[in-house]
Structure 1
Amino acid sequence: MTRRIPNVVSIAGIDPSGGAGLFADLKAFSALGAYGCGVVAALTAQNTRTVTGVHVPPTDFLKLQIDTLFADVRIDAVKLGMLGSVEVVSTVAERLHHWQAAQVVCDPVMVAKSGDHLLARNAVSMLIEALLPQTFMLTPNLPEAGVLLECRAPENVKEMFRAAERLREMLPQSSERWVLLKGGHLPGEELIDLLFDGDRMIEMRVPRIDTKNTHGTGCSLSSAIAALLPQYAGGFRPVENAVRQARDWLRGAIAASGQLNVGEGHGPVHHFHALWPK
């Protein structure tokens, strides 16, 4: 029987350096065996060191992009990245509801690695009210968790556990929904993530890799998960195994990032480390 290749779409912003955003998402989809589609929700003037400008396309055109794609292409999973403004968040939420989009992985991109804000502050409440009810998996890092919960970011693993529980309470309670709380901002030699479905709290630990090439790691991880979820559907513990494979792949991409020479700031990960010749 021929394996059905999943079609996965990223609705996100454009990073011209290719390390984060829609371009990175498409690389992650391709590296993990999914066909990647893309809807442009924002344009940035950005490199590995800074963001110098953001342009948001008209919402009528954003709606047209989504509707034209979904009317023709079977979409098996959706990855949400930088949405930028309250109008964009509202439009994306309304169209995903219209199309009854499945397997929505929401990476609440709020701040770039350079420290530049990528989500308007008044858009956070719209994200919570309109997008989280449609989200299958929420993948915030610790600062993003703090913004969503309106408190300071967790500063230790104990606080991460409580934050993961509170974030899960923001998702629909009547069906399967997941939170992946990423602990990369904590100090220490181990990197700790928590995967929680309201019942099982799965602690995932790996040794930290010493590198500055971490541009787009959050985008790439959530995209890898979106690519893998349809491929694990129907298997044993499909969500947990999809997340574990995505984390393993990203760890390899970070470890191989030194093979690239892109920019002078936080460099990108090597999305195709397992495919390109050494």
Structure 2
Amino acid sequence: MVEIKSDASLDAMRAAGRVVGEALAAVRRAADVRVSLRELDEVAREVLREAGADSPFLNYRPSFADTPFPAVICASVNDAIVHGIPTDYRLRDGDLVSIDCGALLGGWAGDAAVSFTVGTPRPADLALIETTERALAAGIAAAVVGARLGDISHAIGSVGRAAGYGIPADFGGHGIGRRMHEDPHLPNDGRPGRGMRLQHGMVLAIEPMFLAGGRGDYDTAPDGWTLVTTDGSRAAHAEHTVAITDEGPRILTLP
């Protein structure tokens, strides 16, 4: 069931989304060579604490997971696509890092992600990140009243496929509101003009994830959470929580 939010609810979700945006900005500022992923998780925890927000990630345990998630951010490095668990791994020069973060504030959720490089970037990584961000922008631009869910999927997938990147088939965006994951599921590729019609008050977490190797194949790491590219190629992930409104798409997770 897809919940339609009131304008007051969208404002409340904006408050939660702002915390997410601020947490991601703080983590990105703190990320540097020799900084550990666990230290980045603590940076995000502090932002949530200061805002009086909780984490929808911490102790989250979906059906596929053997253990609850132990952190407030997902920290995925290089060939890790999503769901990376923050560990004592210390960032190295040239690493590609994807950080996903959520917040619960006033009973509403926000969810967003960003990818960036640490130290000296590889040109191929910068191109991958730029394309993923461009796909996110295309998906957001397609999230308008009267369009269909497949229009967003098609906009995202068209950007990724044109660049020759792989798209993992089973993972994509989702509805969001009182809970971090709500209906509908939003694939990162699809046919335009298909799926439910978008209307004012729907809220979606739009999140392209692209694989540099050109294939969408992935495996689950031994930790039971982290998805990694099968061929060892690098991956990037970008996400915003977006409200569909009569005035156009409203990004709720900007800092």
- Structure 1 length-normalised TM: 0.29
- Structure 2 length-normalised TM: 0.31
